[in-house]
Amino acid sequence: MTVFAAPIADMHFAATHLAGFSEIAALPGGEDLSEELLLSILEEGGKFAAGVLAPLNQIGDRQGSRLENGIVRTPDGWSDAYHAFVEGGWNAVPFSAEFGGQGLPWLVATALQEMWHASSMAYALCPMLTQAVVEALSHHASAEIKARFLPRLVAGEWTGTMNLTEPQAGSDLAAIRTRAVREGNHYRITGQKIFITYGDHEMTDNIVHLVLARLPDAPPGVKGISLFVVPKFLVSEDGKLAERNDLRCVSLEHKMGIHASPTAVMSYGENGGAYGLLVGEENKGLQYMFTTMNNARLAVGLEGVGIAERALQKAASFARERVQSRDATSDDPNPVTIIHHPDIRRMLLTMRALTEASRALAYFAAAKLDIAKRHPDPQEQMKAQAIVDLLIPVVKGWGSEVGSEAASLGVQIHGGMGYIEETGAAQFMRDAKIAEIYEGTNGIQANDLIGRKLTRDGGETARSFIAHMRSLDGALAKSEADLASLRTSLMAGLKSLEQATDWILSRTVDNRRDAASGAMNYLRLWGTVIGGWLMARAALAAEVDLQSRQGNPNFLQRKIITARFYGEHILPRATSLQAATTAGAATLMAMDSEAF
């Protein structure tokens, strides 16, 4: 198995040159931040990811988690790694100091999360879900619930889960049947939830479940859903553990990938009802859960970035070592390492370009999230939040597709060996696929993009952001780094995005089926074009550093070459994505459903 090394130089470059780390450090609470501190944090995180988590990735895939006599057992080394993670303070990085967190920006936490996902995605799912629970409780829970649960969750002493999905409902949360009945100052929860990531395990003393349920007198549909804290073990007011709650894991799913992550079927209330505490107000649970879901969707996009990076490292290592066939462009009859073959280089550069672009997008979105949370001017907060809301479905949808595309190319580069499990390349492909499915399938992300994020201000945020990206044209025109083709492709891509946006906005008014038929390609169009804009900015920043003799010249030259490749090979996708977006629904809906 290829040794994993966190791409510290590219992470630091993306955070400082593209996401605006200096602007984030200047916000309230960032007084002690510096680029040197950021680099130090990344280096220490890289050591933990490479030294502790990465060696467990293939072990976890082979052993998986298992349910034995009502107890969920994680793979060898999993519990020790989790305890080391908590002791290192990694779980507390982005959270408020009020509850024991370190108060660092989400931009920093995002870069660290990428490392955890790249080193072992199945492991990283556990702290990822805990993070989402902390976010939801921090925003919406009462002071009593916060005091009782948040310090342990922030520290990582306890973990958290989200319980949304039910067998009959799937992604349609309006159809959930789990019930909550009032009983004094608490509620009794009964029902079954499926696909609960880390729904049970032995790594911590307690697990805090966030459960969506419906009161007997609740209005129908999504307006009648409430959110409850339902711990595995009850917690007294002073924070001490009490008796076991009425809930249990009844089975674990047998999955295509992420085998080490226990995906549980959870049963609540088999013996009278599980004890639950209401978060916020009754019938506002879905609104509260969206705080958790949006946080998780950013993290899922990062899963795609992490898997893409891990697959790239493994494929590049194999290509540098594997000797096969003569170089068809040379007269030398001797076989060469496959990295000399143009088609292998095409695949490797595609992997690299997509990985760097999706990383930059995730970091850019995380920085906007920091501005939305920390900026002293409410107007600036609102502007940043509008961009975050627009970008979250793109980060999740496009980022997760990048992970799958890169992992697939990694298998292809390995050839027949990639199809053999022992090489490890296939695991990345299997693990990556789930990111396109959970936390709302990518089709749901696309519908969210066109149905809510784009239209709620009449497209103003989208159009303003497109204009902002187009303003890079002047700098590209003056560049001396041979960026002419990148400039041409980016401006063409922005034109395609603008025209597709106008078309989608017009159809959401008078032909919503047309708009829905183009939604997924529209999301991909956004990712492709924003990725191109960020890669163009990276090339310009690298050119400036080269001219001023700052940084590693080989690294900076690679940034420019990768950006040019993105312009020549990835950005041209925008034209076809625009065509597919605006094709309309006529052909899509023409075939009778029985004919499929």
Residue type for 266, please? M
* CA-based nearest residue to 280, from 272, 296, 291: 291
Lookup: tokens for 450? 């066109």
CB count, 10 Å around CB of 239?
Answer: 11
Query: What is the three-class DSSP state of 436?
Result: helix
- Helix spans in 249-284 (H): none
* CA-based nearest residue to 150, from 110, 205, 198, 208: 208
- The residue count for the chain: 596
Ramachandran assignment for 266, one of left (phi > 0), alpha (psi -120 to 50 degrees), beta (any other): beta
How far, in Å, CA of 447 to CA of 456, rounded? 13
Torsion of CA 170, 171, 172, 175, to 10 degrees: 40
**Phi, psi angles (nearest 5°) of residue 304:** -60, -45
Alpha-carbon distance values, 304 to 4, 23, 429 (Å): 16, 26, 10
How far, in Å, CA of 376 to CA of 584, rounded? 44
Catalytic residues: 439
User: Strands, E, within 115-246: which ranges?
Assistant: 159-163, 179-183, 186-197, 207-213, 226-231, 233-235, 241-244
* CA-based nearest residue to 528, from 394, 393, 377: 394
> Which residues have a Cβ under 8 Å from the Cβ of 98 and sit 6 or more positions away?
none
> Which residues have a Cβ under 8 Å from the Cβ of 178 and sit 6 or more positions away?
163, 166, 189, 190, 191, 192, 193, 211, 212, 213, 214, 268
This prediction has a pTM of: 0.97
Lookup: tokens for 533? 């804009």
pLDDT for 331: 86
* CA-based nearest residue to 204, from 259, 111, 129: 129
Place of tokens 């950006």: 563
pLDDT for 518: 97
Torsion of CA 31, 33, 34, 37, to 10 degrees: 150
Lookup: tokens for 160? 């958290």
* CA-based nearest residue to 567, from 536, 525, 543: 536
How far, in Å, CA of 16 to CA of 452, rounded? 31
Under 8 Å between Cβ of 86 and 156: yes
| Gyration radius from the chain CA atoms | 24
How far, in Å, CA of 267 to CA of 200, rounded? 11
How far, in Å, CA of 558 to CA of 547, rounded? 15
Alpha-carbon distance values, 334 to 324, 338, 367, 417, 508 (Å): 9, 12, 50, 22, 60
Local mean pLDDT, 10-residue blocks, the chain (596 residues): 87 98 95 95 98 97 96 97 98 95 97 98 97 95 96 97 88 85 97 97 98 95 95 90 97 98 98 97 91 84 98 98 91 93 97 98 97 96 96 98 98 96 96 96 96 95 98 96 95 98 93 95 98 98 96 97 98 98 96 93
How far, in Å, CA of 398 to CA of 354, rounded? 10
Number of Cα atoms under 13 Å in the Cβ half of residue 390: 27
